[in-house]
Amino acid sequence: MRYLTDRKRAVGMGSAKSGTAHFWAMKVSSVALLILVPLFVLTFGSILGAPYEEVLAYYQRPFPAIVAALTLIVGLEHFQSGAQVLIEDYVHGTAEKISIILVKCLAYGMMATGLFAIAKLAL
Amino acid sequence: MADVNRGNRPLSPHLTIYRPQLTSITSILVRITGNALIVGAFLVIWWLLAASTSPEYFAIADGVIRSWFGKLIMLGSIWALWYHTLGGIRHLIWDNAVGLDLPTAYKLGWALVIGSFVLTVITVIVL
């Protein structure tokens, strides 16, 4: 039997820290996506398959462009948050830290690329 | 409880030895679909980038997304999107500490599986 107090046993193990904020951010973005995802499927789905000129004209309209931009922002923000939890569950140590950094780079890189493309199409 | 040895106690069942059930399978599928959606997102963003670049680049990306392989990814992504969305609604319900009893959890599980396929079929027919 080791003479350790509960506090001593917990020190250095790390805590949830910003776990509540993380949970709340996921909840807020998921509710936002409940509205955005059907709108995006409807708008993107109706123009996919159309010729180049029609696609350009379609994304020059405010509604499809704003829906696409918002879906990419909220969707990829939601993704980087969720993918972080996935990595934290299965990968540990240095590989965990590197994987989280890479997945966030991917998410924000894709978000920026998508927003650039939508802005260029719309303007 | 300060001096209890906690290093040698039984642990809760883990994935590898846990008998698969509707509840556990639908749960892991929420995680898989959510993370796999990055592939479809990548394809859609590439298509948007190509459309904003030039007609030639658009022809390449549009050709890929409308090829049989592209269509397979888009179809899978639509199902994953609806499955993950319904799974998210289930989480929002469970967050209120309701529907956690087994009969309701199983009903929600079946609603999730059937609902995702119904929504996928509707999406393919409508669009």
CB pairs under 8 A between A and B: 92
Mean pLDDT of A108-121: 97
Average pLDDT, chain B: 90
- Are A1 and B2 a contacting pair at CB < 8 A? no
Chosen for mutation from A113, A115, A123 (greatest number of chain B CBs closer than 10 Å) is A113
Is A79's CB within 8 Å of B51's CB?
no
pLDDT score of A31 more than 60: yes
Residue B1: is its pLDDT beyond 70?
no
**Lowest-confidence region among A17-21, B42-46, B73-77, B92-96:** A17-21
* Residue B3 covered by a domain: no
Give a yes or no: residue B71 inside a domain: yes
| Banded model confidence at residue A15, pLDDT cuts 50, 70, 90 | low
Band of pLDDT at residue A16, cut at 50, 70 and 90: low
The answer to whether residue A1 scores a pLDDT higher than 60 is no
Domain span including residue B56 = 21-126
Q: Using alpha carbons, list the distances in angstroms from residue B59 to B18, B53, B65, B73, B105.
A: 49, 11, 10, 18, 47
Q: How far is CA B25 from CA B18, B80, B113, in A?
A: 11, 14, 10
pLDDT at position A9, please? 75
Contact between B52 and A120 using a beta-carbon 8 Å cutoff:
yes
Q: Could you tell me if residue B101 is inside a domain?
A: yes
Q: Is residue B54 part of a domain?
A: yes
Residues A56, B45: C-beta atoms closer than 8 Å: no
Residue of chain A nearest B45, judged by CA positions: A114
Q: Report pTM.
A: 0.87
Instruction: Say how far apart CA B36 and CA B19 lie, in whole Å.
Output: 24
Q: Does residue B9 fall inside a structural domain?
A: no
Interface TM-score (ipTM) > 0.90: no
CB contact under 8 A, B49 and A72: no
Can you give the pLDDT at residue B90? 95
Q: How far is A17 from chain B (nearest CA, A)?
A: 20
**Is residue B1 one of the residues assigned to a domain?**
no
CATH number listed for the domain at residues A21-122: 1.20.1300
In a domain, B6, yes or no: no
Q: Does A45 touch chain B (CB under 8 A)?
A: yes
Which residues of chain B does A56 touch, with a Cβ-Cβ cutoff of 8 Å?
51
**B45, B47, B58 member nearest A110 (Cβ):** B45
If you search the block for the tokens 């119904």, which residue do you land on?
B118
Residue B10 within any structural domain of the chain: no
Domain of residue B69, CATH code: 1.20.1300.10
